[in-house]
Amino acid sequence: MSNFYETMLNNNLGRSLLKNVGLPTPIELKRYNPNQETYFEGKVLIGTSKGGALLNDLMRNLKEAKATVYFPAAAQTAADILAAADKAGVRAIGVETKKGMAEKFDALVFDASGFESGADLNQLYYFFNPVMRQLNSNGRVIVLGRPHMKAKTGEQAAAMRALEGFTRSVAKEISKKSANATSVYVEEGAEANMDSAFRFVISAKSAYMDGQVLTVSKADANTYPDWHKPLAGKVALVTGAARGIGEAIARTLARDGAKVVGLDIPPAEADLSRVMAEIGGEVLLADISSKEAPQQISDKLKELGGGDVIVHNAGVTRDKMLANMPEHWWNMTIDINLLAEEHINDALIANKTINKGASIICVSSMNGIAGQVGQTNYAASKAGVIGYVQYMAPELAKKGITINAVAPGFIETQMTDAIPFMTREVGRRLNSLSQGGKPVDVAETIAFFGNPASNGVSGNVVRVCGQSLVGA
């Protein structure tokens, strides 16, 4: 949000004035504080389906949080929840869940992995219906399940896919609280790899990621890095790192312990040098669309022992209606936003510059999903990024490398500050959270993908858009 809007929202008179003129008064999002002791602190209500297979791993994660765990005492699966809690050494408190109950919760988590058919969906109703009003501001709704394309029957596939419709709708219903909802699908056999995904979605790091779906697949080995410094000893490349979202990515990865190589074009040298000096990073000046760039990048990363996190953030827009678009604008946009990423990845892999266990993260865009007037070139390039990521995920898995994409929505930057006031305010409101995101929201999601503990997370395309009202 703009400074003006934030100022108005943070005092009673301002909020009253905004309400009187009919403007939204969203609750400010709580974002991650590096000084906090653990990834989550608060009250969690846990539910599970009969045969839920993720309870043990769920409790194991909550054991490492400052969480107070509750469960519906009258649920048929109460004994299962207690058994999982006892195994993990977690104290679980049984409560009578009913409308108007005194207890409030910071997270509502349901393990639906045991669903076998659509008939089981009524369990979502029984768990959530009495307690929806008990969710605190900036709370989390998380539904765990199995990937529907890995289901054993058509009936089970239907039930699992239904979880997405449920959480996307819940996300819109709880939006006035600046709360969000997420589905996390955990492939059978990948239970030990769910930690990073679960800890991310329940934490303040996922503040602007709303109504989304994450899939966790099996990985060769699981790892449990320090939550505060998960990238300690790792080398990260960030293209377009001089300002805006790229700068936020570089700073966030450095905060998490990475040695950052910031890349940008020569005209951005002053800004890039300033950012890298502040975070202890390395400067690399290059045009990513040039023939020389892939080798330049490869050589630089080899000097540092190879790359562990590769972030393709650099991009351009050259907007014009297709009928009026110059050919060189089309070619430039495709070359920089799509082809350059492919060429750089090819070179890094061929030169064995990417270390085993590395992560590649590509920045797509909401417009690559929904399309936009005057952006046929840009939307094509960003949709191409998504196709590339989804195809390459199983190919790179053979090399122990993950690849994912982030699709930002309306993110507050210097560029959006230049948009006319009314147009800017409309853009901010076209999402469930009724506010724009911040560059750090994109950066946190990228840092999650780059976390070594996310080695079971690959081929995902996540929108960081506050659940934009346009697009899928």
Determine contact, residues 218/459, Cβ cutoff 8 Å: no
DSSP lists the bridge partners of residue 111 as 48, 144
15 phi, psi to nearest 5 deg: -60, -40
From the list 70, 185, 208, 378, the catalytic residue is 378
Spatial separation of the C-alpha atoms in residues 198 and 34, rounded to whole Å: 18
Half-sphere exposure (Cβ direction) of 391: Cα atoms closer than 13 Å: 7
Q: If 0-12 CB within 10 Å is exposed, 13-18 middle and 19+ buried, where does residue 10 land?
A: exposed
Asked if 47 contacts 69 with a C-beta cutoff of 8 angstroms, the reply is no
Do the Cβ atoms of 49 and 77 come closer than 8 Å?
A: yes
State the Cα–Cα distance between residues 116 and 170, nearest whole angstrom: 22
Distances in whole angstroms, Cα of residue 278 to Cα of each of 58, 254, 410, 440? 38, 10, 27, 17
The DSSP 8-state label assigned to residue 211 in this structure reads S
For residues 114 and 81, give the distance between their C-alpha atoms in angstroms, rounded to a whole number: 13
For residue 283, give both structure tokens: 């400067």
**Phi-psi domain of 413 (left: phi exceeds 0; alpha: psi -120 through 50; beta: other):** beta
Query: Quick one: which H or E segment has residue 459?
Result: none
How far, in whole angstroms, is CA 459 from its chain's centroid? 13
Nearest in space to 457 (alpha carbons), one of 212, 281, 229: 212
Q: Exposed, middle or buried: residue 29 (CB in 10 Å: 0-12, 13-18, 19+)?
A: buried
Structure tokens at 27: 């609750």
**Residues 6+ away with beta carbon under 8 Å from 81:** 46, 47, 48, 55, 71, 75, 92
Task: Give the length of the chain.
Answer: 472
| C-alpha R_g of the chain | 22
CA 98 to chain centre: 32
Task: Give, rounded to a whole angstrom, the gap between the first and last alpha carbons of the chain.
Answer: 24
The reply to whether 32 belongs to the active site is: no
**Tokens standing for 408?**
């930002």
d(C-alpha 124, C-alpha 229), whole Å: 36
Q: Which residues are catalytic?
A: 378
